[in-house]
Structure 1
Amino acid sequence: MSDPSPAVPIPETELVERFVRATGPGGQNVNKVATAVELRFDVAGSPSLPEPVRARLLAKRDRRITDDGVLVISAQRFRTQDRNRQDARERLAAFIASGWRAPTPRIATRPTRGSKERRLGAKRERGTIKRTRAKTEWD
């Protein structure tokens, strides 16, 4: 059985990495060393991605994708630059793999007669419960 999401080799020239200082606690070292990684990948302009995969990735409502179609992944979970760099690349690979597989189209079905009757029966019961709560003339 073949893998539905083959590994797409993304050339190094399409990735833009920037090393910045990590936020949060970390003592004196955090103010001196730029260990956090900001990885940018142009999904809209990448020649490595097939057109259907590109369209699916851009159609996602992911807050990491800018209006220009650039995916920005920031990694700062680890203390070393190499480990954060590896983490960012793994997350990029997972993001691309998620768009590789086409979603199965939904087949429209109609509700059965029994399910319609159960729904309407539940609505009737709820209505009678609410009617009994109504104020009467002698209240």
Structure 2
Amino acid sequence: MSTSPARRHAAHAALALDDEALLKACEVEYFIASGPGGQHRNTTASGVRLTHPPTELSVTATERRSQVQNKGVALDRLREGLKALTFVPKVRRATKPSAGSKRRRLEGKKRTSEKKTLRSSKSLD
């Protein structure tokens, strides 16, 4: 997956921010997280969703019963996602075998062929 230069630049800029500034740059949404955890989890809005508009990156955290702990986990996940967006893959170029390596490979094949030919002629004698 290639990232556009604009998204990559926005991700670099966001990674340079501290936690408070990054939270201000994000849209924070709280919701009721379903799943195991008892009545406390099922009745409080402890799930956190962070969306970073410039990069369109969205992460959620619903593991903990505490909204504050979930916000911290979501921030960590957002930083991991931003780091992944900044990755630039190396350009891969096709390579061809050299003339010398082709020659050595073919010579090896000829030797193997000669050995096998000699085996079959010995068994006929």
If the TM-score is normalised by the length of the shorter chain, which range does it land in?
0.5 to 0.7
What amino acid sits opposite 1:34 in the alignment?
Answer: A
> What are the superposed Cα offsets for residues 73-107 of structure 1, whole Å, 9 maximum, x if unpaired?
11112221111101111111111112223211112
RMSD: 2.8
Unaligned ranges ≥5, structure 2: 1-11, 110-125
Q: Which runs of 4+ in 1 moved over 2 A?
A: 10-13, 110-115
Match of 2:36 among 16, 25, 40: 25
Give the conservation status (yes or no) of the 8 Å contact 2:32–2:46: yes
User: How do 1:26-65 residues align onto structure 2 when only pairs under 5 Å count?
Assistant: 26-44=37-55
Structure 1 residue matching 2:89: 3-state secondary structure: coil
User: Which residue is equivalent to 1:76?
Assistant: 62
Query: How far apart are residue 43 of structure 1 and its match?
Result: 2.8
Greater CA drift, 106-115 or 92-101: 106-115
1:96 to 2:82 alignment: yes
Letter in 2 for 1:88: A
Secondary structure of the residue aligned to 2:40 is helix
- The equivalent of 1:14 in structure 2 is 25
| Cα distance in structure 1, aligned partners of 2:68 and 2:31 | 13
Partners of 1:78 and 1:31 in 2: how far apart? 12
- Three-state SS of the structure 2 residue aligned to 1:39 is strand
Structure 1 unpaired stretches of 5+: 45-69, 119-139
Give the count of matched residue pairs: 88
Give the fraction of aligned pairs with identical amino acids, expressed as a percent.
26
Aligned equivalents of 1:80 and 1:28: distance in 2? 13
Between Structure 1 and Structure 2, whose CA radius of gyration is higher? Answer: 2
- Residue identity matched to 1:19: Y
